[in-house]
Amino acid sequence: MNTDTVLQARALVGGLTPLKSDCGALCGAACCQADEDGQGGMYLFPGEEALLHGEDSDFAPIYTCDGTCARENRPLACRIFPLTPVKTEKGWGVKIDRRARAMCPLARFGTRGLDPEFVRAVRRAVRLIAADAEGEAFLEKWAALEGQYRVF
């Protein structure tokens, strides 16, 4: 997948966030920081590794930051959190990421607790990524990985 596709997906989400206000104020920007063991970060989508440096992992490069960044440079995974891609019989959509349940106070409300404009934009971005063969393969692996996480 080329860099232009991921840049278009980022542009679809633009400056939208899960709430009309800064949702990071609710949780201390928990999704923007590694945990006490140094774990955490966001996977880079295909094409983003040309834009951002990520650490190698078994799945995809992982990008971590210190909790602050230039919002316009955030990886797509940061922009769509706490949502995650999901493939249904109707095609690609979004749902609350299981990992978000441990850190995001919005997760318990499901997608209905998020700004509907944000949810629609993320859905459009996911569908744009899925329209590319490499992008869809990435989303399928992402969804399978997300499905392995347990919710306690």
What is the value of pTM for the model shown? 0.87
Report pLDDT for 125. 98
Check residue 54 and give its pLDDT. Answer: 77
Closest among 4, 122, 137 to 60, alpha carbons compared: 137
For residues 43 and 139, the answer to whether their CB atoms sit within 8 Å is no
Amino acid identity of 22? D
Q: Enumerate the domain spans of the chain.
A: 3-9+27-148
Q: What pLDDT was estimated at residue 38?
A: 62
pLDDT in tens, the chain (152 residues): 899 999 999 999 998 988 876 766 666 666 666 666 666 778 899 999 888 877 777 778 888 777 677 778 889 998 998 999 999 999 999 999 887 777 777 888 888 999 999 999 999 999 999 999 999 999 999 898 877 766 54
d(CA 16, CA 33): 20
Residue 152 CA, distance from chain mean position: 21
What was the pLDDT predicted at 55?
A: 76
Q: Which run of H or of E encompasses 11?
A: helix 3-13
